[in-house]
Amino acid sequence: MRIAVLHGPNLRLLGRREPQVYGTDTLGDIDARIGDEAASLEVEVESFQSNHEGDLLDFIDEASARVDGFLVNPGALTHTSVALRDALLGVSLPFVEVHLSNTAAREPFRHRSYLSDAAVGVVFGFGAYSYLLGLRGLVAHLREHPDEP
């Protein structure tokens, strides 16, 4: 089983970006933790970050040929991007949405997600651990429902 991890805009700044909100782990630290978790679950992962919406859409299209699902932190695109939603629905692969921060406890514009209702599940508020929980949930879903999008 192979999972693609998608990090949206500004997530490459982790470590120095609003550490009171997002913690002090860098994106490299988080990817390393995801890699360890994936190894313990006996799945393969690949990770992609972009600040550019179109690059994320292209990646979803290309990666869909080789992966079984997506673990997605869309960053601010969560709250704005119909195109990202359409890309994920368009490739008919299951995805889990994750956020480092508890978006429900933040500004009202962060309460709406264009992805959540189409996701297998959503994990938010646990810092880097959100990714690990999300990966576990996605892998469990894929193992239990191998034929479902």
Q: Could you say which residues in the range 24-63 bind ligand DQA, by CB under 6 A? A: none
CB 115, min distance to ligand DQA, A? 11
Q: Could you say which residues in the range 79-138 bind ligand DQA, by CB under 6 A? A: 99-101, 103, 110
CB 42, min distance to ligand DQA, A? 27
Q: In the complex with ligand DQA, which residue's Cβ is closer, 81 or 103?
A: 103
Q: Are strands 44-49 and 2-7 parallel, antiparallel or unpaired?
A: parallel
Q: In the complex with ligand DQA, which residue's Cβ is closer, 39 or 104?
A: 104
3-class SS of residue 68: coil
**Of residues 96, 48, 56, the one with CA closest to residue 76:** 56
Angle at the Cα of 20 (from 28 to 127), degrees rounded to 5? 50
**Of residues 25, 27, 78, 33, the one with CA closest to residue 49:** 27
Residues found near ligand DQA in the complex (CB under 6 A): 10, 73, 75-76, 78, 99-101, 103, 110
